[in-house]
Structure 1
């Protein structure tokens, strides 16, 4: 089933990702879920003004962080200040958050199984550690969509070669929390193109062998 009034808006913002002494140019997907009056933002990346403009005057109910790598949270405090919306982050990612925003804590914690309501849909928080300890995905069955941040991409798992990440853990998260969703579920990612659970499921053994 799909929602009659709640829609998904997509914005791509550009900036840098920095960790472990390196910095890379990146394009990030920013997802806005809501109806004509209210919305949530999933991953406030790089450009607070552009995200605020994309909201089009709607009330922002929450800024939800899929994880705390700087490229996914760098615009969150500015967007929160402009809109009054709280920032939500899983507490296991606080050490990463503090690397970017040492003087501004998130407002609320995300927890596995928590439900976030916006418009006429509900999004369930799935704790999916591996790319980062507090990484989460947001599953919206009414929209036949899961927002995966950097846990699952078109073609494989998120990177696990840097601090705070762990390859066996991300594989467990994907196998147990994401590939168990209906095959037609659209996977909307933190970077790059969307995919579906059904398209990615057959590749699990290949990912494990590759140690990607």
Structure 2
């Protein structure tokens, strides 16, 4: 049965000299034979337990903030799976993993398939330089990482982020998706494109 599983893992996020406690959504997309793991955060054992005996096609990172990648190498090694990341994320990746590079690039329009489900990479910079969402049209779902949340865009107050860029990414890449598309986020509750779309102008006003 093809679909999406997820586990919430807890740990910390550190950048620009600060550290915060965070809960992360780790998404596992595929069927009972093979899966893609999206955003390997904090707890490799919990993620591996959810994967079970399925083949891992790839460990996909929506972006390279440490709370989204801190278990990526451990899981890649455990499952013999490549780590995929947009190359614009290199400065952030290297803060956490200076001695290990991702195994492959994540490019706009790239298709990753697991269990018959196609995930299309949509590069949506702003929260970070190479933030990438994953759209699964047949599941009516987009995995947005930290680009779009229930209630607005991801944070842009730290290094390598831009408010104007994230708004442009949301406007041009995410909001044109069907309104009933479920938005599964990097942290917190899911929402839909149709729920968030009417609020774009107020986010812009609030952001400036």
Bin of the TM-score, shorter chain as denominator length? over 0.9
SS at match of 1:160: coil
Instruction: Find the counterpart in structure 1 of residue 74 from structure 2.
Output: 78
Q: 2:47 matched to 1:51?
A: yes
User: In the aligned structure 1, how far is the partner of 2:118 from the partner of 2:87?
Assistant: 21
Q: Which runs of 5+ in 1 are unaligned?
A: none
Instruction: Find the counterpart in structure 2 of residue 117 from structure 1.
Output: 113
The alpha carbon displacement at 1:121 in A equals 1.5
SS at match of 1:137: strand
1:153-203 Cα shifts (integer Å, max 9, x gaps): 000000000000000000000000000000000000000000000000000
User: In the aligned structure 1, how far is the partner of 2:123 from the partner of 2:20?
Assistant: 26
Q: Which of the residues 125, 132, 139 maps onto 1:129?
A: 125
Instruction: Find the counterpart in structure 2 of residue 184 from structure 1.
Output: 180
Q: Which of the residues 9, 12, 16 maps onto 1:13?
A: 9
SS at match of 1:68: coil
The alpha carbon displacement at 1:133 in A equals 0.2
Q: Which of the residues 69, 90, 97 maps onto 1:94?
A: 90
Instruction: Find the counterpart in structure 2 of residue 160 from structure 1.
Output: 156
Q: Which runs of 5+ in 2 are unaligned?
A: none
RMSD over aligned Cα atoms: 0.7
Q: Which of the residues 61, 68, 71 maps onto 2:64?
A: 68
Q: 2:157 matched to 1:143?
A: no
Q: 2:15 matched to 1:23?
A: no
User: In the aligned structure 2, how far is the partner of 1:208 from the partner of 1:87?
Assistant: 34
User: In the aligned structure 2, how far is the partner of 1:99 from the partner of 1:11?
Assistant: 25
The alpha carbon displacement at 1:90 in A equals 0.1
The alpha carbon displacement at 1:100 in A equals 0.2
The alpha carbon displacement at 1:42 in A equals 0.5
User: In the aligned structure 1, how far is the partner of 2:146 from the partner of 2:83?
Assistant: 18
Q: 2:185 matched to 1:194?
A: no
Q: Which of the residues 171, 174, 195 maps onto 1:175?
A: 171
Instruction: Find the counterpart in structure 1 of residue 103 from structure 2.
Output: 107
Moved over 6 A (4+): none
